[in-house]
Structure formats: structure tokens, C-alpha cells
Chains A and B, each alone.
Chain A
């Protein structure tokens, strides 16, 4: 088991007592943390047997069960149980055994990965004799623990190692400890379900509905964007544990919102929510914290039982999470200073009959990757870890197993400009002299086109013309689509890149992405069709009326007559004919595609960068409708209601499916924020321009660099960390792009680019004039060529292809 750990990682795993691990990018953070959890689990088996009389297992349907998910929809939590440790009569007992180990993460993805890895790690220890003996040599306790009673039940009774390699989740892992692994939110949900009164959980959607309702009566002029801003602020003040009245002191409000207005709406929101007995996601944390500030005997018992707390991504904790951890740990050493507004009952400490030393916390993270200040994360908690938790040790993981040396050096030289950090330096394990490319493009479109061409090249060409060309086929290694990620600061940038990549036919996955059939125009069309089948479906009618044109709204009765007429006729029509009729007769064209565009889309895009999105989206809507027809024609053997019913059933089913199919390979497009925690062999970071990265809104001036203002300095450092996160996603190749003109305005390159040591960079410009680029984009329509084409055209193509070599 120790075989896979380096010295620093091993030290971290074996350390006893409170521990802060500073784990830079690619240093094996999750690897180390899961090993430490496994180590803790195994080492402390006997310790726990002593008070097991009061601890009875949660009922289980038997050993063939997989993980026991507490709640299907909230499957973030998992309890690992030990059927072997109890008799069958115990199973009927419903008393709950509380976890003594808690491992908290920030995302479901992270906690799922941790569970997965933990299970496979324990399976390894148990089953591969070779590794098993390694363990024994390294640590006698392991052997003992293993012989004792950790067992993994092989459900399918197949060859363990083999099956394990494929699917670890066929095993029911049983350990005679209980551990809770999950996100902060899932843990809090568990806590509230156990220890609090009934409540309804409101998701983001429901939260927005409540706010919309309130706004419609108090601030009728607000748009959805305004309400989004308010929703964000409410979340922010809750996570920072600020009373509503104090918000303006801490958080700058958007221009449209006066402090008093915010206070009004926030109070109304709270009133509504408590009237519904509803909690939003942020409330989960706040209410759980209240459980700990006024502890009941059950909470005290829960806290007493807790032995080990592991926190992933500690640099991302916000105030409420920090307080939760502190109270759970019972740390009576630390005094709250950051949030003196919060009245935390100190009485709870005095009733403590438990020595705080019997609890251990291990936090892991990297302050250089803290990028969620806008959500309320506070990096300061990381820096004060050793003050908060007694006798805490700090360890650093510095060996980077991810990126090639030049990428690491580039990231190091950049992040050195930040002042708020704990010093550490990364040591790359892969020596490679591939330089980091800095590419400047004329404008945003050309930048996107440059990325597209480069991707085509990285995968070794997409058609005969590219691949078959001796000049073109330079790359000595080819990558998969899914090896490549394009990162950007704002979602709007992503759309232009997506348009370009999709135009080239390259499979890509924008995160998050909504499937084409979830697009508004298709959904509305489906509402119409539903109304034809179910004339009394008021919800469909109201959805339709929302999108109806002003003319239609004015004359609702005419509109309804029109629908009625179609209902009468529809027996003669196939489903796609119905759809076509609705599309034509009910003004979809004019509603969704305000500007009809004939002619050359690319030329238009070039001509008016500002109008890019409109033109691109108009075409998309048309195309989506055609796609709807081409995928719905399968029901055309039935006319009238029968066919429509089948069609509607099909789409209802589709909408409930998980759209993301991870086995399909595609280029990843995402914001820098979304890239955190991921890694890719090839990374493009686009839009490296002052104002985009570092990002600044219009109201902020560009003289940020000379500013002494702390707030602005913090923001700048946060943006630098964001760039740092982006760079350190790359394993092999890194391309940094910027456009000289964006949205018809000249730009200056990001000041961050100057902070990377010049000798690590290779600077390029996309050198051909724009004219050629556009014509080459269109060459498949203007010129043609055969699969096995004649050679006459190859020369021009060669030029085009080499543009971006």
C-alpha cells in the first residue's frame, strides 16, 4: 500500500495529530488523502471495538447490497458498513451508529472519486497477496488489521483483481468503522434530517421562483439578471454568516441595487422560506451550524463520537464551513475573530467532557488554487490553521507528477507575483523542453479559428486532405479529442470558440451544456404538440403564451382558434408535419430568428463581431428545428394523435436521461473556474487580455496595478491564481492565446503574460491576413474536392493548413 507513496506523502499518511497538507497541483492530493483515510481506518479498528456495544449498525438488506445510499436523489453520502461484525438479530435494530470518521469535500465529483479510490485501495490491500505482503513489511498493524476483520465481499464471485479493475462498485465494502464521505452540503443534509425538524429542500430553481414572486410585486422592473444577482448576494451573505443588515459593509452591491432594497427583499425571502418550512442550499450549512451552537444531547453524542475529520480543498472553506469544522472539532483554543458578528455560544465548550486531543483534523489544499472568493471562500482560514488547531503540523507535497517541466516553471514564475501565499516550490517529475506557446490573433474569431485548426492538427487531421498531407502530418504523437481542453474566463468567450469548433465538425462538450432538445425553441414546440394531444393541459398553454408574440397576446382568442383548427386537422398529419405547421403558422421563425440571414455566415461574423452571437444563434435555432424533424421522422408512420403521443413519449424519456455520455470522446470547453481539479494533456487558455484575465467590470478602472486598495489587490491575486489553476491543468502542451481586437475594441495582452519567464515561451502570431482565413473556412462550399482528390487543389490547401502550424 505504501509502495505508491513518495516520502512526503508517506509522512503525511503516517502523521498522527492535527495536520495541514499543502498540496500543489498534480502532487497527488486525493491519492494522499485517501491513503491517509484508509490508513486511519485500518489502524484504528481495535480502538473502536471497545465502545461498539453502543454502536449498532444501520439496517442493511444484506451483503449483496452496494453502497447504502441514504437518499437516492442525494446520493452524495455513503456509509461503509460491516455485516460481519454483527449478527442477524442486530440488523433489525434501528439505532443508528454515528460515524467516527468524517471526510468532507466541496463537490460530489470529488467525494465520489474519494469513495471509489478508497474502496479500491482497501480491495488492493485485502486481495493482492503481493501488495498484502508489502503492507506487512511496512506496517505490522496493517497485517493485523487485515487479518482481523476488514473484509471485502465479492458479490459477483469473479476473479477479484480482474473485476476490480473494471468496476470497483460491485463490491460491498465492510469495515467495522463508520465513515461518512460526502460534500459539506450532503453531510449537513444528513445532520438536519437526523437532528432537526421537518423541512423542504429548495434547489436553485425553486429559490429563483420564490425570488421572482417577491420581485414581481416589490420590484416589477427587475429582469432575470437582477434577480440572479440578488440570489447570489443572498447566498453570499449566508455563507459569510453576515446579518442581512451588514451586507453592504462587506460586499459591494451591484449598481441597480440600493442597500435598503436589498435588505427588504432579503427579509421577504427569509419570511417566505420559513413560511414554506423551506431551506435553500446555503441554509443547510447555516442550520447545521445552529445545531452545534445550541447542542442537544444527541449532538453532543455525535460530536463525542467523532474521531477524525478530513477536509479536502481547505483553501475553499467559507465562514460557515469554517465555523462548522471548528465547532465539530470542539476546538476551545481558537477564538472567533473573523466573524465576530456571529454569536457563537461559548457555553458549549464548557460542557465538553471530551478531551479535544482525542479528535484529529487533517486538512489538505493549496492556497495558490483558491479561486472561489466570489462565492465567499476565504483563504485566510487556511493560513490560520495552526492557530485554530493545537499542535498542528504543516507538510508540503511538492513533487508534481502531472505537468512537463516548462509548464511547471511557467506556473511557478507567475504565482511568485502573489504576496498572499505560503511558500512552496513544485518539482516537476517530467523533464521536457517543450515550450509554452503564446499566440496572438487578430480578433476573437481568428483566435477561435486558430484553436480549431490546432486541434485538428493535434488529433492528426480529420479528413484525407489534412491527414494525407505529408506537410500537414507533422505531429509525432496524436491526441484524442478528450485529451484536449479549451479554457476561458467568461462563458461568452466560450460560445465563439464552440461555434468555430463545431463548425469544423469537431466533437466538443461545453460544460455545462444543455442538449439541443432542451433549447427553448424545441421545448416550446413540444408544448404546442402536447397541447394538441392534451387540449386541457394548462401548463403547456401558459408556457406557450409566455413566448407568444405581442400580436398573438393581444388577440388570444384568434390564437386559440388557430390552435383549435390545427387540432381538428391533425388527424391527417404526421408528427413532423404537425411540427412543421406549428413552426410556420405560429411565428417561430420570426420569434426566435429575428434577423433572417441569407448569404455567408462567416463573412457576417467577421464583419460584425458584436453581432456574432445573434447570427450564430439564429442559425442554431433553424438547425435545431431541422434536427428535430430529422430525429422525429421515426414516428411518421402514424398520423394524428397516435404519432404525436409516441413522439412526446420519446422526448419525455430523453429529457429524463443523463445527457452526458462519458464514453463519447469530445474536446472539453469550460471556464477556468470549472477546470479546477481536472487535468488534460493539452490545454488552451484563450482571451488572455487585460480586462478579461484579470477580469474587470466596466466600472473598475484599468489602473489596478498601481492600486493600494486591498480589495482590488486581493482580486488581482485571485485572478492570478485562476490563471495559475488554468496553467497547471496542462500535462504536455500549453497554448496561451490572446486577440488584439475583441468586440471591436483594441486590447492589450494580459499583464500576467509578462510575469511568465520569457525563456519558457515561444511566441507566435497567426500571420495570414484575415481574408484568407475566411475563404479557407469556406473552402468546402466554394471549392470542392474529392475524397481521393486530384492534386491540383493540394497546393492551396497546403497553404491554408500551414497557417497555424
Chain B
């Protein structure tokens, strides 16, 4: 069975998250987006843990479904065309902030567990060490390797995935407080890492320039803090629907079962390029080198982006061969927002978005599978052209830097005016 999965998200018990990140809304938005399995995130948080235990029931082995009574509450908000059999997987992200080899390290790690019992074992160990009640993504003064050991001790069935590995501030390879190698961080446990998460600012080809990562599968998750951002990046599988089949597919990295990862354009991520946001200085790694890593306007050290950081650790210029296929996508609301020059969360974009879902089905099927003619019929040729361009990767992006998102442009101004004169633009409504 072919399905998509997003392992890394956060509930409303994490900081800076939408209050809609609860079980019901995950159920709803998972179906709107067309994601079959979403990680619960935050299972270390006692309140979230108890909410999950209350609302979920076991489905296929290691996966969970929303109980009927709760599903009913939200069912009517999901267009007929999008409804599907949605599943949860128990996951959490831990923020490890600690010192090793004389430096402060900040590393985020994602853990997936096949049962509440095993999740509870992990909770039990971590509750002795730190405070699990303050934040859905707990900050622990705990060495990443020990976290991994605790996870393995709870069950070797758990998945352990270093999160968004290139983010400058909070990742195993982060330029600010990470490591230069997985071994420095995880030592003898390194080979047992299930997979590495590329994060929004890097894509598989970049990662594959490091031969040190050849033995690891790359996964892509949304790290969403609000329902709309679910599935920004996802993984597509063709396996039996169960925790263990998914784990095996991830671990083995066999493209027969792990079909592809769907990626953000890495340029769109906040830390792709180098730069200094206050001075609006955006540099490619080469330009940064020219300026000795300093902002030419204020002399402040530039924040080194992912592209530069990857290059500094890479040992080959071309990506190695072995890899799971991948493709780039832009979320539908962002496409609509760009081509109509309206805000992503504007009423207008929202209206278009839902009308398309109703007519066509979930967002992923629109972006990936549905023939362009069908899309054109259900919306407009303008939208269909845009989706075509995104599918083909023909979009222009100003790279993100120093915490500023990259900006996308599906159509150039000229293309827009050409299309406008064809009067196809507003034929939609």
C-alpha cells in the first residue's frame, strides 16, 4: 500500500505552537493534506500523553486511530473527497542541551515508539532526569548519546532520528553548537541511528556529498507547529500499514518500500544561505568567504547557513549514488498565495484551497498525482500551470538566510501579465 507519513510535529503543549495542534485537528488536517500517518509529537508531556491515551485506540500493530466518538466531533469539517483512514504514531522530539568535549552542544532528536508502554518507559527514565511538564519538546541537560541509550533500553524497536541535522543552532551538525561527525556525538551507538532528518533547509543531494552519511537513510518531516504546515515535507512508503514495516523500510532504506521523500525547496528554508538579517545581507558561501565571514555593513559575524556548513563537511562535490528518490514541492496554499499575491492565510487563498480540496481530493494528490487537465477543470489553467511548474521544479527562489525564509516566485512578473491578458486568471470563480 502506498502512503505518506510525517513523523515529526508538535502538539499544542509545545512552545510557540497553534492551539489547534490536538488529536482531533491532526486527524482532520492529516486527511486534508493527504498524510496517512502523523507522529503525535510530545509524548513525554504528561497532559498530552493522557489526552492521547484517552482519545486513541490501537489500530494496526504499533499504530493508533482516533476513537469513533472523537472522530465524529470533527468528521463534518472534512470534505467527503478527502476522507481516509488516518493513523497516529507515538513520537517526541527532545532538545538536548549539554556540554561535550568542552563546548556547549544543542541537539534535537526525534524518538518514535510502537506502544504507550514503551513510550511510558522512556517518560519514566526522563522524568528522573528533567522536567517533562513545561514543554512538549522538553529541554534536557542530557547527553544525546545517553538519550539514545535510554531509548534503546526502553525498546530496540524504537526509532531514533537526529532532527533537522543542519539547523545552525539545534542540530547534530549545526554550525553553532553541533558536532562535525555523528561519531563525536553518538560514539559507539552511531550505527544504530535509524535515520537522519534533512530538515527544511537541506535536501538529499546536499546530504549525499558527505560520504560519512552513506550508511544512513534520510527522512523528511514537517516539524509543523500548526496544522496548515503538516506535511511540508513527508515520506512516501509502499509497505504494509504497520509501525514495524515502516521502521524496516526506513532502516533498510530500500527504495522498493521507501519510495521517496517529498522536500521543501531547500532555498526556501530559513538557513539555506549565509547572512545577517538585521542588515539584510544575504550571501552565498563564496561571498561569505570573500568577506571573511563578517557582515560588510556592520562587521557582525554572519550566520553561517546550511549550504555553507554542508560544504565545509562534505568530502565530494557530487552526491553519492545510493539514495532514496526525492522530489520538491511547495504547499498548495503557498502556490495560491504567490500567484494571486494574497496572504497565505487570507480568506481568498483559504477559499480557493478548500474549494479545490472539495472538488479534487486531498492536497498531496493535487500536488503529486492528479492530471493537470483535471486540475485545470476544477480550478483554472493558471493554477494548473503553476502546479505544473512546481512539479517540474521550475520556480524562482530567493534563498533564505539568518532566520529569514526564502521567498518563492512561481511565475515571473512577465509571465503573470501574459497570463492575465489571456483572461484565464479569474475564471476560477
Q: Which residues of chain A have a CB within 8 Å of any CB of chain B?
A: 459-465, 467-471, 473, 478-482, 502-508, 515-517, 623, 626-627, 629-637, 650, 654, 657, 659, 661, 663-666, 779-781, 783-791, 794
Contacts of B135 in A (CB 8 A): 505
User: What does the 1/0 interface line of B391-412 toward A look like (CB < 8 Å)?
Assistant: 0000000000011110000000
Kindly state the separation between the CA atoms of A5 and B276 in the bound complex, as whole angstroms: 48
Quick check: A780 and B124 within 8 Å, CB to CB?
no
User: What does the 1/0 interface line of B176-208 toward A look like (CB < 8 Å)?
Assistant: 110000000000000000000000100000000
Residues in B283-315 with C-beta less than 8 Å from chain A = 300, 303
Question: 14 A-B residue contacts at CB 8 Å?
Answer: A460-B104, A464-B170, A468-B169, A470-B278, A478-B177, A505-B131, A626-B46, A630-B49, A630-B123, A631-B123, A636-B116, A785-B225, A786-B229, A787-B10
Kindly state the separation between the CA atoms of A780 and B16 in the bound complex, as whole angstroms: 4
B380 at the interface (CB under 8 A from A): no
Kindly state the separation between the CA atoms of A663 and B106 in the bound complex, as whole angstroms: 16
Quick check: A505 and B169 within 8 Å, CB to CB?
no
Kindly state the separation between the CA atoms of A420 and B402 in the bound complex, as whole angstroms: 57
Quick check: B49 and A637 within 8 Å, CB to CB?
no
Closest 6 CB pairs of A and B: A665-B141, A626-B46, A633-B120, A631-B124, A505-B135, A634-B120
Contacts of A788 in B (CB 8 A): 200, 223, 269-270, 405
**Nearest chain-B residue to A507 (Cβ)?**
B141
B50 at the interface (CB under 8 A from A): yes
Quick check: A789 and B143 within 8 Å, CB to CB?
no
- Additional A-B contacts beyond A633-B53, A786-B225 (20; CB < 8 A): A463-B15, A464-B270, A467-B169, A468-B270, A508-B131, A626-B49, A626-B50, A626-B133, A630-B46, A630-B50, A630-B123, A630-B132, A635-B117, A650-B124, A661-B129, A664-B141, A780-B14, A788-B270, A790-B405, A791-B404
Contacts of B127 in A (CB 8 A): 516-517, 627, 630-631
Contacts of A623 in B (CB 8 A): 46-47, 133
B138 at the interface (CB under 8 A from A): yes
**Nearest chain-B residue to A462 (Cβ)?**
B139
Kindly state the separation between the CA atoms of A422 and B287 in the bound complex, as whole angstroms: 62
Q: How far is the CB of A496 from chain B (nearest CB, A)?
A: 15
B99 at the interface (CB under 8 A from A): yes
B84 at the interface (CB under 8 A from A): no
Contacts of A460 in B (CB 8 A): 104, 106, 169, 176-177
Quick check: B131 and A507 within 8 Å, CB to CB?
yes
Contacts of B325 in A (CB 8 A): none
Contacts of B140 in A (CB 8 A): 507, 664
Q: How far is the CB of B250 from chain A (nearest CB, A)?
A: 22
User: What does the 1/0 interface line of B97-133 toward A look like (CB < 8 Å)?
Assistant: 1110000101000000000111111011001111111
Contacts of A790 in B (CB 8 A): 344, 405
Q: Is the interface of A mostly helix, strand, loop or mixed?
A: loop
Q: How far is the CB of B400 from chain A (nearest CB, A)?
A: 9
B142 at the interface (CB under 8 A from A): yes
Instruction: How many A-B residue pairs have C-beta atoms within 8 angstroms? Tell me.
Output: 186
Kindly state the separation between the CA atoms of A465 and B167 in the bound complex, as whole angstroms: 13
Q: How far is the CB of B136 from chain A (nearest CB, A)?
A: 9
Interface residue from A506, A507, A515, A631 paired with B120 (Cβ < 8 Å): A631
Quick check: A784 and B141 within 8 Å, CB to CB?
no
**Nearest chain-A residue to B303 (Cβ)?**
A470
Contacts of B49 in A (CB 8 A): 626, 629-630, 633
Q: How far is the CB of A621 from chain B (nearest CB, A)?
A: 12
User: Given A460-B104, A463-B15, A780-B15: A505 and B138 within 8 A (CB)?
Assistant: yes
Kindly state the separation between the CA atoms of A663 and B144 in the bound complex, as whole angstroms: 12
Q: How far is the CB of B62 from chain A (nearest CB, A)?
A: 14
Quick check: A470 and B277 within 8 Å, CB to CB?
yes
**Nearest chain-B residue to A628 (Cβ)?**
B46
Q: How far is the CB of A622 from chain B (nearest CB, A)?
A: 9
Quick check: B139 and A634 within 8 Å, CB to CB?
no
Residues in B23-49 with C-beta less than 8 Å from chain A = 44-47, 49
Quick check: B177 and A663 within 8 Å, CB to CB?
no
Interface residue from B130, B167, B270 paired with A664 (Cβ < 8 Å): B130
**Nearest chain-A residue to B277 (Cβ)?**
A470
Kindly state the separation between the CA atoms of A664 and B97 in the bound complex, as whole angstroms: 10
**Nearest chain-B residue to A780 (Cβ)?**
B15
B224 at the interface (CB under 8 A from A): yes
Kindly state the separation between the CA atoms of A200 and B142 in the bound complex, as whole angstroms: 41
Contacts of B261 in A (CB 8 A): none
Q: How far is the CB of B149 from chain A (nearest CB, A)?
A: 12
B2 at the interface (CB under 8 A from A): no
B256 at the interface (CB under 8 A from A): no
User: What does the 1/0 interface line of B234-276 toward A look like (CB < 8 Å)?
Assistant: 0000000000000000000000000000000000011100001
Contacts of A635 in B (CB 8 A): 117
Quick check: B99 and A665 within 8 Å, CB to CB?
yes
Kindly state the separation between the CA atoms of A465 and B124 in the bound complex, as whole angstroms: 29
Quick check: A504 and B223 within 8 Å, CB to CB?
no
User: Given A470-B277, A789-B16, A791-B404: A633 and B104 within 8 A (CB)?
Assistant: no
Kindly state the separation between the CA atoms of A780 and B45 in the bound complex, as whole angstroms: 15
Kindly state the separation between the CA atoms of A480 and B119 in the bound complex, as whole angstroms: 28
Quick check: B120 and A630 within 8 Å, CB to CB?
yes
Interface residue from A504, A515, A629, A784 paired with B16 (Cβ < 8 Å): A784
Quick check: B104 and A480 within 8 Å, CB to CB?
yes
Kindly state the separation between the CA atoms of A787 and B169 in the bound complex, as whole angstroms: 12
Quick check: A627 and B139 within 8 Å, CB to CB?
no
Kindly state the separation between the CA atoms of A633 and B119 in the bound complex, as whole angstroms: 8
Quick check: A659 and B104 within 8 Å, CB to CB?
no
Kindly state the separation between the CA atoms of A473 and B49 in the bound complex, as whole angstroms: 34
Quick check: A784 and B124 within 8 Å, CB to CB?
no
Q: How far is the CB of B398 from chain A (nearest CB, A)?
A: 13
Contacts of A627 in B (CB 8 A): 46, 123, 127, 132-133
User: Given A459-B97, A633-B53: A781 and B19 within 8 A (CB)?
Assistant: yes
Contacts of A779 in B (CB 8 A): 16
Quick check: B225 and A502 within 8 Å, CB to CB?
no
Contacts of A506 in B (CB 8 A): 139
User: Given A480-B99, A787-B223: A659 and B128 within 8 A (CB)?
Assistant: yes
Q: How far is the CB of A230 from chain B (nearest CB, A)?
A: 36
B134 at the interface (CB under 8 A from A): yes
Kindly state the separation between the CA atoms of A781 and B46 in the bound complex, as whole angstroms: 17
B365 at the interface (CB under 8 A from A): no
Kindly state the separation between the CA atoms of A263 and B402 in the bound complex, as whole angstroms: 72
Quick check: A663 and B128 within 8 Å, CB to CB?
no
B18 at the interface (CB under 8 A from A): yes
User: Given A631-B120, A787-B223, A788-B405: A505 and B278 within 8 A (CB)?
Assistant: no
B68 at the interface (CB under 8 A from A): no
Q: How far is the CB of A531 from chain B (nearest CB, A)?
A: 23
Kindly state the separation between the CA atoms of A504 and B50 in the bound complex, as whole angstroms: 22
Contacts of B404 in A (CB 8 A): 791
Quick check: A462 and B97 within 8 Å, CB to CB?
yes
User: Given A480-B99, A666-B141, A787-B225: A468 and B403 within 8 A (CB)?
Assistant: yes
Point out which of A468, A508, A516 has the most chain B C-beta atoms below 10 A from its C-beta: A468
**Nearest chain-A residue to B52 (Cβ)?**
A630
Contacts of A504 in B (CB 8 A): 134
**Nearest chain-A residue to B200 (Cβ)?**
A788
Quick check: B139 and A505 within 8 Å, CB to CB?
yes
Contacts of A469 in B (CB 8 A): 403
Quick check: B128 and A654 within 8 Å, CB to CB?
yes
Q: How far is the CB of B142 from chain A (nearest CB, A)?
A: 5
Contacts of B44 in A (CB 8 A): 630
User: Given A502-B131, A784-B18: A478 and B104 within 8 A (CB)?
Assistant: yes
Quick check: B117 and A636 within 8 Å, CB to CB?
yes
Kindly state the separation between the CA atoms of A61 and B258 in the bound complex, as whole angstroms: 60
Interface residue from A467, A634, A661 paired with B128 (Cβ < 8 Å): A661
User: Given A482-B141, A504-B134: A632 and B120 within 8 A (CB)?
Assistant: yes
Quick check: B98 and A480 within 8 Å, CB to CB?
yes
**Nearest chain-A residue to B229 (Cβ)?**
A786
Kindly state the separation between the CA atoms of A801 and B44 in the bound complex, as whole angstroms: 27
Contacts of A787 in B (CB 8 A): 10, 16, 223-225
Point out which of A459, A464, A659 has the most chain B C-beta atoms below 10 A from its C-beta: A464
